[in-house]
């Protein structure tokens, strides 16, 4: 296998891999034809640092998912370059795996078989891989649910199973597109802490996309704040908060609130720019921003 991971056995069990750095340089992407063509990403440049958790935040519909498709290799940019450790991204590859907004578990497979899908598809099933699957089942707290089908799992359990299914393939970069969207508030916060713990143990390169400012600040080492469509990076904030992180303590800290208010201020400016054009995403953001400011006051 191309990545290194200490697999379960008599020795130390951990999730460390050879992570990678990704760079997006001067990337633009449009969709449609003739006068219907829409510029979604315009001259975007940023770095996803090796072994860091980079979070991208921006209003719904600004082009974040398009950037994910470009990073994953599902689409190609119209101009600019996307690279991984200096090599051009030419298409999908197991070194970059995406966890999507909606569950991608196969409904006819139980939890264990879903996790084992990648190795089986590559013909890489051996005792070592089976032991790793068992290790990951335990790591994500699903050992007792190994024979359950996705419809028998809660939303949070499905998310954990998908994380394990990605991790068994040794990706050098994990790409997550609002993976906890749609979960209830309590389950979502539990998943933040769970996911942060997995990251802190593995230090795998992670790129996480969200529209939730609290989620972004709790998880991020580095925060990319995007403009409205056509999107590009408006600001980069270093989230210099200690790890491991405790949700209650961290989100009540003065430094976390400083970062939050700076990020909200930038996002509010971007929303105001598109508000006059009747953007529903901008209207929703301004309403949510006003509520947060009133609550803080």
Q: At residue 161, what are phi and psi to the nearest 5 degrees?
A: -65, -40
pLDDT at residue 79 in the model: 96
Rounded Cα gap, residues 200 and 188, in angstroms: 18
Residue 115 lies in a domain: no
- 197: helix, strand or coil: helix
What confidence category does residue 274 fall into, taking pLDDT thresholds of 50, 70 and 90? low
pLDDT at residue 7 in the model: 40
> What is the number of domains present in the chain?
1
Is the peptide bond between 230 and the residue preceding it cis, with omega within 30 degrees of 0?
Answer: yes
**Cβ(7)–Cβ(130) under 8 Å?**
no
What confidence category does residue 247 fall into, taking pLDDT thresholds of 50, 70 and 90? confident
Q: At residue 141, what are phi and psi to the nearest 5 degrees?
A: 70, 35
What confidence category does residue 229 fall into, taking pLDDT thresholds of 50, 70 and 90? confident
Residue 242 lies in a domain: yes
Q: What is the DSSP string of 259-271?
A: HHHHHHHHHHHHH
For the segment 8-16, the average pLDDT, to the nearest whole number, is 43
Domain range for 226 is 22-95+171-296
The token pair that represents 87 in the structure block: 């090599």
The token pair that represents 106 in the structure block: 């196969």
Residue 240 lies in a domain: yes
Q: What percent of the chain has pLDDT over 90?
A: 52
Residue 221 lies in a domain: yes
* Torsion angle of the four alpha carbons 163, 168, 172, 175, in this order, in degrees rounded to the nearest 10: -20
Residue 3 lies in a domain: no
pLDDT at residue 185 in the model: 87
Residue 138 lies in a domain: no
Give the chain's mean pLDDT: 85
Q: What is the pLDDT of residues 173-194, one digit of tens each?
A: 999 999 888 888 888 888 898 8
Does 291 score more than 70 pLDDT?
no
Strands 53-57 and 96-99, bridge-based pairing: unpaired
Query: What predicted TM-score, i.e. pTM, was given to this entire model?
Result: 0.85
Rounded Cα gap, residues 277 and 160, in angstroms: 39
The token pair that represents 183 in the structure block: 């979960």
Phi-psi region of 80 (alpha: psi -120 to 50; beta: other; left: phi over 0): left
Instruction: Classify the C-alpha dihedral 268-270-276-282 as positive or negative.
Output: negative
Neighbours of 291 (CB within 10 A): 10
What confidence category does residue 276 fall into, taking pLDDT thresholds of 50, 70 and 90? low
Neighbours of 261 (CB within 10 A): 14
Query: Which domain CATH number covers 283?
Result: 3.40.50.300
- 273: helix, strand or coil: helix
Residue 113 lies in a domain: no
Residue 139 lies in a domain: no
In terms of pLDDT, which residue wins out, 101 or 210?
A: 210
């Amino acid at each position: 296998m191309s990545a290194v991971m200490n697999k379960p056995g008599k020795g130390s069990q951990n999730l460390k891999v050879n992570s990678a750095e990704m760079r997006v340089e001067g990337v633009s992407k449009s969709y449609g034809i003739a006068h219907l063509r829409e510029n979604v990403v315009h001259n975007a440049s940023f770095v996803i640092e090796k072994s860091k958790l980079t979070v991208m935040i921006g209003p719904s519909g600004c082009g974040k998912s398009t950037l994910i498709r470009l990073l994953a290799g599902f689409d190609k940019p119209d101009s600019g370059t996307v690279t991984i450790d200096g090599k051009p991204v030419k298409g999908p590859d197991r070194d970059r795996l995406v966890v999507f907004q909606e569950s991608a578990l196969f409904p006819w497979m139980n939890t264990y078989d879903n996790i084992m899908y990648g190795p089986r598809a590559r013909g890489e099933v051996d005792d070592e891989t089976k032991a790793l699957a068992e290790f990951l089942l335990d790591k994500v707290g699903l050992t007792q649910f190994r024979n359950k089908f996705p419809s028998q799992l809660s939303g949070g359990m499905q998310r954990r199973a998908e994380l394990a299914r990605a991790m068994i393939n040794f990706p050098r970069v994990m790409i997550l597109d609002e993976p906890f969207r749609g979960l209830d508030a309590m389950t979502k916060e539990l998943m933040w802490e769970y996911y942060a713990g997995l990251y802190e143990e593995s230090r795998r390169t992670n790129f996480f996309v969200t529209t939730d400012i609290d989620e972004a600040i709790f998880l991020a080492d580095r925060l990319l704040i995007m403009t409205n469509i056509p999107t590009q990076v408006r600001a980069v904030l270093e989230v210099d908060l200690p790890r491991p992180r405790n949700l209650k303590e961290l989100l009540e800290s003065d430094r976390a609130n400083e970062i939050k208010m700076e990020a909200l201020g930038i996002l509010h400016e971007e929303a105001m720019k598109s508000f006059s054009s009747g953007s529903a995403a901008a209207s929703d953001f301004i309403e949510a921003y006003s509520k947060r400011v009133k609550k803080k006051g």
